A and B are shown apart, each in its own frame.
Chain A
Amino acid sequence: DQQVKQNSPSLSVQEGRISILNCDYTNSMFDYFLWYKKYPAEGPTFLISISSIKDKNEDGRFTVFLNKSAKHLSLHIVPSQPGDSAVYFCAASALSGNTGKLIFGQGTTLQVKP
């Protein structure tokens, strides 16, 4: 069963515009959410996270929004830059379970066009 879903396999935006990547989850026990970025031939790189006690977290051009009632989170990148072109993974964890293991979505490939 896919507990974390990224329903858009790809997204293309123009440089300078906003990129919005979406993620849905099904497990109510998840209380910590992360976004990772992955370039080809590299491991995933941590981008930003959010705890379930918050509904927004911002770090520079990156903002993550969490809607617990809808079990939905999104990553906003403003303004988008060509260097942001990569695969973005949403991940969730149940910190209360104390394992820390991450459950990943399938990924969304973002292409930012100059």
Chain B
Amino acid sequence: DTGVSQNPRHKITKRGQNVTFRCDPISEHNRLYWYRQTLGQGPEFLTYFQNEAQLEKSRLLSDRFSAERPKGSFSTLEIQRTEQGDSAMYLCASSFAAGVLGEQYFGPGTRLTVT
């Protein structure tokens, strides 16, 4: 297994445009998480899936953000009408269900720059 992969690695977009990121988790993992990291801060939880079900969303996740995991494998995170404040590193992580192995394995991230 090659680990968690994310595409694209970098995205530059103009304010008001929509963007979509993809995450491919480790294949045996049934949990998938999205986090956002800004400069000088640790990653902040956005949302997570167990299989295809989205079970929790942070209040950080405004209505402009939507995430899917249609077949319980890869996931997409879409941001509509991007704002400059959306500029950040978006990290995806996967794990087995909590209580068995709590460690989450992170992908390299997608760096979003909104101009």
User: Residues of A with Cβ closer than 8 Å to B?
Assistant: 4, 6, 32, 34, 36, 41-46, 49, 89, 91, 93, 95, 98-107
Contact = CB atoms under 8 A, between A and B. Distances in A.
B21 interface: no
Contacts of A101: 33, 45, 48, 56
Interface residues of B, number: 28
A42 B108 contact: yes
Nearest to A91: B42
A89 B42 contact: yes
B46 to A, nearest CB: 9
B45 A43 contact: no
B32 to A, nearest CB: 11
Nearest to A4: B42
B40 interface: yes
Given A46-B104, A95-B98, A100 B42 contact: no
Given A100-B31, A101-B33, A102-B43, A95 B102 contact: yes
Given A101-B48, A104-B42, 8 more contacts: A34-B102, A43-B107, A44-B106, A45-B106, A93-B98, A93-B102, A102-B33, A106-B41
Contacts of B31: 100
Residue among A43, A44, A91, A99 facing the most chain B CB atoms (10 A cut-off): A43
Contacts of A105: 42
